[in-house]
Each structure stands twice: as C-alpha cells, then as structure tokens.
Structure 1
C-alpha cells in the first residue's frame, strides 16, 4: 500500500521540480542571444523578471527617458541573474513609464525611490521586487554604423517600445 502512495508522490515532486527549473529559461536564453549576436535586431522580445535601478549620474532633471535594467533568473530559487541593460522607459506618470522620486534632502537613491507604471496604469514601487512580463524591440547601436566600421564583438543594445505588466 505504501508503494502505491510513494510512486505518485515522487512523480508529482519531480514534475514540480522540473517546472520550477524551467520557468524562466527562455528569458535567460534571450538575454544570452542578445549579448552574443545580432539576430534580435528590430525584433520584439519578451522577458519575465524584475526592473532594477539603473547605474547613472544625474546631468539634469529634464530627461524624457530613463535607461532601466531588467533582471531575469533561470528559475525562482536561483541566485544566478542575467541583466538586460538599456531598457528605455519614458519618465513620467503615463502607462509603461518610470517615475523617480528623490527628496531634496536625500543624496543617495535606492529602489524605494523608483516606481513603474505598468500597461494597466498601476503604480508599483521597485522595492517590492515585483515580477513583470516585459516586451520591447531590440536595437543594436553597432548596426547603425557603416558595415566597414562595425566592431563585430560589440553587442550594445537598447530596448525600446517597452510594455510591461505584473506577471
């Protein structure tokens, strides 16, 4: 009788572990591809992960866009992270935008100072580490140069036309 209960339990456990390990492999594969070839030029990609604050210095408060980072993991319990850099979001309070709020007396920023407004208009603080499904179009800066002047190992990109929602 115990054997009959153990086999279904083991089967169910292994299916659960397999789904946990494969839950975000396509996002990781997409980032790896973006950093190793130009196959995604002008293509819309989809990633599942969370926004992270960019590393930047302030030049003025008049910028209309902000280059955000988007972090994905191979699976939920992984400590390994892959980052899509230069996810371009408009600054403001419209849908699919980012809002940066730093009090005048505060010198350093944290995730608490960043909010994103998703495609449904919901304002979400990045400090909550919310998972999003994000889509956007990839553009490689190197491909804007004449072919003879390109560095075939430079895969710097920007992701534009971004939409996102809580996953």
Structure 2
C-alpha cells in the first residue's frame, strides 16, 4: 500500500515538474530585453505565445503588412502577460501571413476576424488561442538615426521576417 502511494506521489510530482520546467520564462525575458535595451538589434529572437489582434488596424485592404501583437506568459497558469508589439506579418493567405476578414457593415473587430497561416500553410483563427513558436528579427527605429541623435530610452521596435509554427 505504501509503495502504491509513493509511486502515485512520485508520478504527480514528476508531472508537476515537467509542466513547470516547460515554462516560457525565456520568452518573457526576451520581451523584457527588447523593451529595455538595444542588444537584440538585427538579431533573430524566438518567442512562444499567442498572436493577438493589433490595437488599431486599417480596413482599406490596401496594406501589404499588419503589425500584430504577440503575447507571452511565464507559464501556462500565469495571469501575468507580456506583449511584443509590432510583429510585422504580410497580409494574405500564404505561409506566415495574417488575414483580416470583417464584413463591411461591422464596425468593431474581435479575434474572430483574424486568421494566421502558419509555416505549414494551415489557416488558424486567432479566437482559438493557439500557441505558436515564433521567430523574427528585431529592428529598433532609433538605430536608424545617427548615433548623436538617438534617444537612449526609446526602445520602439519592429519584428520582421517572422516565421511561426503551432507549438
């Protein structure tokens, strides 16, 4: 009887350890770093999380790209979220693209109006809250200016050349 209890407890502890060691702390650390220093300029970063709708979008249909948000958490049960803004995705139905579909008479949009096409070409509605592993290159706007004109605390960035796959 003690052996069964010990085995059950060991399995439970092992499962908990596996769950928490698969945490996403490195994605949180990466988002914090890109928002606080220029160390990631022109570097490829990897994040694990969910795409989120941008806070503003154009509905003209003429834009070839859209700046999406990408939300990461330290672990699955965390309520604390960190957002990578300006994840630039091409608009369309190709791999690693985003599609925004909203009826002409609808004024507000939700996640149901957004789809992404992953690295395999699968169309995924953002309302499904699918977790993705995303890679992209960080570019800071201040780094485009001459060094003597840069603001030391403006860490506005864009993440381009984005590739992602369901995690």
Q: How far apart are the structure 2 equivalents of 1:166 and 1:59? A: 27
1:123 offset after TM fit, Å? 0.6
1:46-101 CA-to-partner distances (Å, cap 9, x unmatched) read: 11111000011437321110000000111111111111100000001111000000
SS, match of residue 71 in structure 2: strand
Q: How far apart are the structure 1 equivalents of 2:77 and 2:149? A: 43
Equivalent positions of 1:16-165 (< 5 A) are 16-22=15-21, 23-58=23-58, 60-165=60-165
- In structure 1, the gaps of 5 or more residues are none
Aligned residue-pair number: 166
1:131 offset after TM fit, Å? 0.7
**Which TM-score applies when normalising by structure 2?**
0.93
**Match for residue 15 of structure 1?**
14
1:20 offset after TM fit, Å? 2.4
62-71 or 4-13: which moved more? 4-13
8 Å contact kept, 1:141–1:157: yes
8 Å contact kept, 1:27–1:72: yes
8 Å contact kept, 1:31–1:82: yes
Q: How far apart are the structure 2 equivalents of 1:14 and 1:153? A: 44
8 Å contact kept, 1:21–1:74: no
8 Å contact kept, 2:89–2:98: yes
SS, match of residue 29 in structure 1: helix
Give every structure 1 segment of 4 or more consecutive aligned residues whose post-TM-superposition deviation is greater than 2 Å: 4-22, 57-61
Q: How far apart are the structure 2 equivalents of 1:12 and 1:142? A: 51
1:155 offset after TM fit, Å? 1.0
Q: How far apart are the structure 2 equivalents of 1:13 and 1:136? A: 37
1:151 offset after TM fit, Å? 1.2
**Which TM-score applies when normalising by structure 1?**
0.93
